[in-house]
Amino acid sequence: MVKAVIFDLDGVITDTAELHYQAWKNLANSIAIDFNREFNEELKGISRMDSLNKILQHGGVADQYTEEEKLELATKKNEEYKGLLIHLKPENIYPGIKEFLNALKQSNIKIGLASASKNGPAILDYLQITDYFDTIADPDSVINGKPAPDIFLKAAEQLGVSPQDCIGVEDSEAGIEAIQSANMYAVGVGTVEVMRKAGADLVLADTTELVWDQLQEAFTAKVN
C-alpha cells in the first residue's frame, strides 16, 4: 500500500535542471571544455563535486586541477546558479505538480524530498511549496549520492515508512537507479527514452500525467 511519495526536485518539480545545465555549460566553456545536452544527461541527479569531476574528466583535464581549484570552480558554478534561482516563482512549478501534491495531502500520503541539491530548501521556498513536505532528506547526511539508494532511504526513514510502501519520482537515470535500489516503485518523468532505458516502473511524458488515482492503480498492479 502506498504510504509516501518521495520526490526528486530538479527537473521533476520545476525546470531547475535547465538552470543547472546553463550554469555548468558556462563553467565548462570558461575552461575550454565542450558541453552539450547529451553529456548533461549524465550529470542529472549527481552531486555538485561529482558533476565537476565528470566534466573535468570529459575534458581530459581531471589531473590538472588541485582540490582547492576544483572547489573554486564548483563555487563559481553555484554562484551563477544561485543568481538564476532568485527569479523562481510559484508560476514556475511544473504543471500538475500542485494538483498532485494536494491529492496526496487529501489521501494522507506522506510527502518527502530526496534531492542531491544543497539548494533544495531554498528552491521550495522560492516556489512557496515548503509546507507540503513532511520531510526533506539532507544530501549532506548521506555518504553515497545517486545512483546509490541512500537519500531515498533516508527520506523514507525520516517519514517512518518502509521503502516498499514508497513511490519515488525522478527525471534522471541515476535517480531511477537509486529508487530501484531502495526497493521503491520508480516513476520516471521527462525524457521518455532515458526513463525507459533506466528501467522506471512507470514512464510519464510530463508532470501533468502525475495523477494520484492512476499512480496508485499502477503501483497496486505491480505489487500484486
Residue 10 appears among annotated catalytic residues: yes
* Residue 76 CB-density burial (10 A; 0-12 exposed, 13-18 middle, 19+ buried): middle
Non-local (6+) Cβ contacts of 171 within 8 A are 8, 10, 11, 12, 17, 44, 188, 189, 190, 191, 195
C-alpha angle 59/64/70, rounded to 5°?
A: 85
User: How many chain residues interact with Mg ion (CB under 5 A)?
Assistant: 5
Transcribe 129-185 into DSSP letters: -GGG-SEE--GGG-SS-TTSSHHHHHHHHHHT--GGGEEEEESSHHHHHHHHHTT-E
Give the one entry of ligand G6P, Mg ion, none that residue 197 binds, where binding means its C-beta sits below a cut-off of 5 to 8 angstroms depending on kind. none
Q: Is 201 in the site for Mg ion (CB under 5 A)?
A: no
Binding mask 159-188 vs Mg ion (x if CB under 5 A, - otherwise)?
Answer: ------------xx----------------
Active site residue 125: no
Stretch that binds Mg ion, among 7-15, 53-61, 156-164, 183-191 (CB under 5 A): 7-15
Decide which of ligand G6P, Mg ion, none touches 118; Cβ closer than 5 to 8 Å per partner kind: ligand G6P
Among 4, 6, 7, 8, binds Mg ion (CB under 5 A): 8
> Which of residues 2, 10, 73, 93 is near Mg ion by CB under 5 A?
10
Please say whether the dihedral angle defined by the alpha carbons of residues 63, 66, 69 and 74, taken in this order, is positive or negative. Answer: positive
Given Mg ion, ligand G6P, none, residue 177, with its beta carbon under 5 to 8 Å by kind, binds none
Q: Which residues bind ligand G6P (CB under 6 A)?
A: 10, 17, 20, 43-48, 51, 78, 115-119, 172
Q: Which ranges of 31-66 does DSSP label H, i.e. alpha helix?
A: 37-41, 48-58
Of 58, 47, 3, 2, the closest CA to residue 25 belongs to 58
**Closest separation between CB of residue 220 and ligand G6P, Å?**
29
CB-based closest residue to Mg ion: 11
Phi and psi at residue 191, in whole multiples of 5°?
-65, 100
> Minimum distance between the CB of residue 173 and ligand G6P, rounded to whole angstroms?
11
Q: Which of residues 27-56 bind Mg ion (CB under 5 A)?
A: none
Q: Pick from ligand G6P, Mg ion, none: which does 115 bind, CB < 5 to 8 A by kind?
A: ligand G6P
The residues carrying an active-site annotation are 8, 10
